[in-house]
Amino acid sequence: MPGVSRRGFLAGAAGAAGAAGAAWTSMLLAGCDDAPAGEESNPAPNNEPLTGAAVAFDGATQAGIRTPTQAHLNLAAFNLRDGVDAAGVRRLMRLWTEDARALASGRNPLSSLEPEMVEWPANLTITCGFGPRVFALAAPDAAPAWLGGIPAMRRDALRPEWDQSDLVLQICADDPVMCAWALRHMTRAGVDYARIAWLQQGFMNAYGSIPKGRTPRNLFGQVDGTVNPSTDDDFAQQVFNPDGSSSLVVRRIAMDLDGWERLDRASREQVVGRRLDDGAPLTGHDEHDAPDLSARDEFGLPVIDPNSHMARAMPPADHPEQRFLRRPYNYNLPPAPGSESLSDAGLIFLAYQKDPEAQFTPVLRRLMEADRLNEWTTHIGSAVYWLPPGTAQPGTAQPGASQPGASQERGGGDAYWGETVLAGGRG
């Protein structure tokens, strides 16, 4: 049946079957929500904490932003198919939002025949972002001024395979099978409207492998995310707009681990500006101590190199707005055949902020100018997306902010991702 999706087939079949067929289909679907087959032979279910871990999908802001970093990432970029118009974009958003809500809740989406795959969502979050073409098609007057992309930097070595796309789905979970299945389902569900442009897969520490609240590490061994916002006010000032929207900057950064590992430990700490063991600045005792850039050693030299990564990333005193949320993931691939390198590794750097032009780009520009870490890092991919506000399940009242720091003014009211913005489009 060319041109007919599984969702359409099921919906059509249910309608054509009449009352009796509809009743039978309802019974079948209800059975899909019951305990999985074979439970009788395993009367002692797994009661580990992760089996009951779920993140609320609806709220003033999208889940997957302030959510503590899960262990696994599938970052999937999509381009709209030829012929998809504003009405098609809205249909896709309705479909994707409905299915993402079900998956995150441990419920089987309508078009899936595998309810046992979604029983334990394992902190699954699915976050959606819009690229420029979505606005050009469906809401040309609503596009943010900053959505044109990050300006070219002289040290960039960007590759077209990691370029801007029309849409992005950030799929995170603490179980790799759940993460993979959610990607599979969302890709399949939207196949009539969009095709995958690229996929970036990353990982962080496994669930429960580091103490709760501990800053994770990247493959250089350094803690990554020390200066992230932590309070409701921080998130309101740095990350979320009053309507609950935000932005996502994706930078794919290749890391020269072979070269980095030739440095002694003291040299690595000088490059970063922090101790490797606990992440404390070289002038401090704890990870979150304020660095003292004026401190001098016994020879009169700066204790913290002014061109260290930490020093270059710090916002100037007259621009405190140059802060944002970092949510990075590592990637580690086999080296290319014939390569003398021991790995193909790096960072999928995810940054969230209200306005990338005001918050992210100035920091990136400083880092590209003089960051000592540049000798071992190369930016090979870049993309920017507008993140719609959170949603509310159709037929329910606005839930308000399910995540602290989100605005209470109007968030969480859209029935599907971007409804308020896309509703002004003409199909």
Asked whether 251 and 378 are in contact (CB, 8 A), the reply is: no
Residue type, 329: Y
Active site residues: 224
**Residue whose tokens read 């999706």:** 5
Q: What is the DSSP string of 186-219?
A: HHHHTTTTEEEEEEEEEE-SPTTSS-TTPPPB-T
Asked whether 260 and 373 are in contact (CB, 8 A), the reply is: no
User: Rounded to whole angstroms, how far apart are CA atoms 353 and 249?
Assistant: 8
How many of the other CB atoms lie within 10 Å of CB of 276? 16
Q: Can you list the alpha helix ranges (DSSP code H) found in 105-172?
A: 132-138
* Structure token digits, residue 239: 């990350």
User: Rounded to whole angstroms, how far apart are CA atoms 352 and 246?
Assistant: 7
* Structure token digits, residue 194: 């969009």
Asked whether 394 and 415 are in contact (CB, 8 A), the reply is: yes
Q: Can you list the alpha helix ranges (DSSP code H) found in 204-355?
A: 232-238, 257-260, 265-272, 309-313
Asked whether 391 and 416 are in contact (CB, 8 A), the reply is: yes
**Residue whose tokens read 């969480």:** 412
Q: If you ran DSSP here, which 8-state letter would residue 426 be given?
A: -
Q: Is 300 left (phi over 0), alpha (psi -120 to 50) or beta?
A: left
**Residue whose tokens read 């059975």:** 31
* Structure token digits, residue 52: 């009951």
Q: Are strands 167-173 and 125-130 parallel, antiparallel or unpaired?
A: antiparallel
Strands (E) located in 273-316: none
